[in-house]
Structure 1
Amino acid sequence: MTAPLLALLDGTLADVTAPLVRADDLGVVRGDGVFDAALVRVGADGAPLVRDRQAHLDRLERSAEILHLPEPDRAGFERAIDALVAAWDFDAQPEALVRLVLTRGPESGGDPTAFALMAPLAASVVAERERGVAITLLGRGHDGDEVAAMPWLLPGAKSLSYSINMAAKRHAVRHGFDDVVFVAPSGRLLEGPTSTLVVDRGGALLTPSQDGILASITLEHLMRDAPGAGLEVAFAPLEPDDLRTADGAWLLSSGRLVAHVTSVDGEPLPRSPLDAEVRRILDV
């Protein structure tokens, strides 16, 4: 397995095992920071491709703005990405995830902490593209539109405060599931801890409104390119029964790209007749 690579914003590589972040960094002690992650793999022309690179940098900037962090050094992150891609062994690991990290920096004051980390895409993530995912529905404390009206809850930000999301996935795995879709108190379906839901209902591709949840770059990709294949993707108020009775469903994310939902709380879900076309649109 290829070891992770670390790059600083001046474009130099650093030892991933050497100390980089101070113990009092607010990203460590309070999760006060943002990140984004993009898939990197060899493209059709044989050259490495950072998928939706500019969109991920844009989202990093939006996340930093929501948290009132200093504006990310976009050129510096570009240099770091280039250094990582140039040093990566794509023969050994053809797919990797590059994470862009920005924290508020030391609690006592000082410059923000910023770096990029590139690591192999987990084999389990790659496998889920083919075999699909069994999901469970878990409650979340607020409706999306309520969160959107509460900026202190950081709606739309990809922050380092990911403990609840990771706890939800651990809960799912302990109970025999692969992943989660959150449900609002109103009964509306929301998002997954690290993914976006799309359902096929009679050939219509529907996804929950993104009010108060993180904008999905993979969903944007699907919405942009689906019309060229004769498909449309629309936002809709979806409830659990809309998912359970669907002709199929998928979870979309930047690393996994797409995985079809095989079951919902133990109830089997068919594989959509549109699955092959959705996968083609997303270059899976």
Structure 2
Amino acid sequence: MRGAEPFLLNEHLSRMVRSAARMELALPPVEELVKLAAQACDGWDPAVEGALRLTCTRGPEATGEVTCYAILTAVGAASKAARARGLNVAGITLGFPAAIRTDAPWLLGGVKSLSYAVNMASQRWATANGLDDVLWLSADGFVLEAPTSTVVWRDGDALCTVPVSSTGILPGTTARHLLDNAGALGLTAEERMVTTASLTAASGVWLLSSVRGCAPIHTIDGVALAPSPDTVRIQTLLGFHAPE
């Protein structure tokens, strides 16, 4: 078990509770969700890196009884390889200003839901265009997040990420854990708005998620970024290791 895993499970459950409240979805007690997660992990080979997904739905339409289930699968080779080889990404627009979701609760800013059509369409577009992933941009030109990852970059002695409260992006648990422990790397933590042009000048840019871990970005919109010596340090801190 990685050192960050208990924290990540607690944070994922907290995010699930917040998201469910926003959607008026009644969840079972958190203790029951923890038991469900433990049942899914029971008997899993600790030598195999796995990804646990907890899903809660409103259940059958006839009864409206909430249904929850857990799926545990091995982390794919492509996700692990990205930690070593890095990512070639491009910025694509979401079509609305960065701050619009803070005043539009019906857009479900910051909610983790099953509505992943745009996320998957974005990644299919990336693959079709010879890219590994994309950065979602606001209509006013700011980087928000990636379809399944949080953007983190280094500027001077600070590890930075995009503010959640003013943009409505999904709060990344892995990124939060990194920034909360930035001091262990001799760095500080900040939240800032950023553009792709500023990212290309950063001394390290990464996409962080609980499955892919920490994957460095090596190219943005065709502009090559210098490799960062912080990548291995961050991966080690988080417990995600690139394949040999």
Residue aligning to 2:13: 57
Q: Distance in 2 between matches of 1:51 and 1:86?
A: 19
Aligned pairs for 1:1-284 (under 5 A) are 42-43=1-2, 52-91=8-47, 94-210=48-164, 211-284=167-240
2:27 touches 2:66 (CA, 8 Å); kept in 1?
Answer: no
Q: Distance in 1 between matches of 2:75 and 2:229?
A: 28
1:61 touches 1:72 (CA, 8 Å); kept in 2?
Answer: no
Give 1 or 2: higher helix fraction.
2
Unpaired stretches in structure 2, ≥5 consecutive residues: none
When the two chains are superposed, the root-mean-square deviation of aligned CA atoms in Å is 1.6
Supply the AA of the counterpart residue of 1:173. Answer: T
Supply the AA of the counterpart residue of 1:125. Answer: S
Q: Distance in 1 between matches of 2:46 and 2:184?
A: 31
2:93 touches 2:137 (CA, 8 Å); kept in 1?
Answer: yes
TM-score by length of 1: 0.79
Q: Could you list the structure 1 runs, at least 4 aligned residues long, displaced by more than 6 angstroms after superposition.
A: none
Q: Distance in 2 between matches of 1:235 and 1:64?
A: 26
Aligned CA distance change for structure 1 residues 248 and 229 (closer, same or farther; 3 Å): closer
Aligned CA distance change for structure 1 residues 72 and 61 (closer, same or farther; 3 Å): farther
Q: Distance in 2 between matches of 1:223 and 1:199?
A: 11
2:99 touches 2:168 (CA, 8 Å); kept in 1?
Answer: yes
251-260 or 79-88, which moves further after superposition?
A: 79-88
How many residues are paired up? 237
1:199 touches 1:243 (CA, 8 Å); kept in 2?
Answer: yes
Q: 1:237-271: CA deviations, max 9, x gaps? A: 20121012222200011111100001012221111
Return the index of the structure with the highest Cα Rg. Answer: 1
Aligned CA distance change for structure 1 residues 207 and 43 (closer, same or farther; 3 Å): closer
Q: Distance in 1 between matches of 2:9 and 2:84?
A: 25
Q: Distance in 2 between matches of 1:125 and 1:213?
A: 22
Higher relative contact order (CA 8 A, sep 6+): 2
TM-score by length of 2: 0.91
Q: Distance in 1 between matches of 2:94 and 2:239?
A: 32
Unpaired stretches in structure 1, ≥5 consecutive residues: 1-41
